[in-house]
Structure 1
Amino acid sequence: MRIRNKPWAMDYLKENGHIVDTEMNYKNKVKQFFDTDQPLQIEIGTGMGTFITELAEKNPDINYLGIELDKNIIIRVVEKIIEMDLKNIRLVLLDANYISDYLGEGEVSKIYLNFSDPWPKTRHARRRLTYHTFLKQYHHLLNDEGSLQFKTDNRGLFEFSLKSMNEYGMKFDEIILDLHDEEPEDNIRTEYEEKFSKNGSRIYFLKASF
């Protein structure tokens, strides 16, 4: 999905600094970013924000942090948060390579990876969000009961992720080869998920822990 560059994006985000951190102001003190001290879950790569905003609306007793690198995309999420008047979501403009610098050890109870870029070329494997260097960071961030939830329409990325997680020593709590075959009632569809499903694509799902 190509998003048109918005020259005013950073000004808008800084005007909404109570929702989105653009300058690492809450590095290693993300609890101070939220109004209430509650369990923290994160989504890495927010898309347009449908997933994380609906999740937050359904679970007001959990804090959610959306991590997104593209300032033009994160604007849409900010707009949704304001429109829905959600108090338990915050965002950070951040490269996922540095999430363990931003968040502390054992600070997160759940990580969501939804339709991440598959980076299909072999030479780009290290950019995939289930590459072992990312798994190491997730291991650092998740508490002892924490888990990782992953969804994709890309079979190659799914197979790579299974292998990568297995080699890292992760435990698979659930693997579903077609999530929409008997779709769970609590499944929240992302924008990409709706699009791919309508086109007949299979949606792969897994839940794993360390």
Structure 2
Amino acid sequence: MVVEWIPRKSTNEQPQQPLTQLKAVVFYTDPLLKPTPIPILFNPLKHHLAALQHMLLQSEPSEIQQKLLALGNSQMDMYAGELDTTVIFNEVRNWLQERGIYERAAYAAFLVQQHGYATVVLTDTSRWILRMAADQQLYIHLHPGRYSPHTFRVKATALKTALAYRVAERHRLLMGDLLRDLNVLRKDLQLSPLRSTAESSHIMEIIDLLRRTGSEEI
């Protein structure tokens, strides 16, 4: 395994690539949210698209709305690549162990030297940010880098609408009028209605990305 550390001062953010250029998400059928012995604090429902879809697939339709509401309303960086959470965690752990900074004290001292965070490049070229978590046991706070390869930056409101649409589509609950269907779903999610289909273009890009998965079930 080869991973690379990019020092904080040399990290340059690049414009986000169009969602149509993202490789189709691989849908993982193995449980993605199982406990891990690696002390990483990571929110897969906000940062790992396959894990989020897996959660929705395992949920009853009546549970979907509440779970989507839990995503909040802020922007998030969502990873849509082929690495599952186990692979990501293992690569991060190996990178830290190779440098002798896996234990909490050494990790904390390292981040102080790097002004609070470092960036790790994984085997698929995606960039991940390491910070210090307040949790005493899960002290490695991990999230995707902004504008990293295989990620997209998205408003939670657009993502929730797109996910709700895919679930409704899967259960054949749509009426066929795009604007009406989206606004019915947005009302259930406590979101303001769209005034025209032109406002839904970004949502439809996300829906298209969700459709390009390795599973026909969602």
Scaled by the length of structure 1, the TM-score of the pair is 0.27
Q: Which has a greater percent of strand?
A: 1
Q: Which has a greater percent of helix?
A: 2
Scaled by the length of structure 2, the TM-score of the pair is 0.26
Q: Larger RCO: Structure 1 or Structure 2 (Cα < 8 Å, ≥ 6 residues apart)? A: 2
Q: Answer with 1 or 2: which has the greater Rg.
A: 2
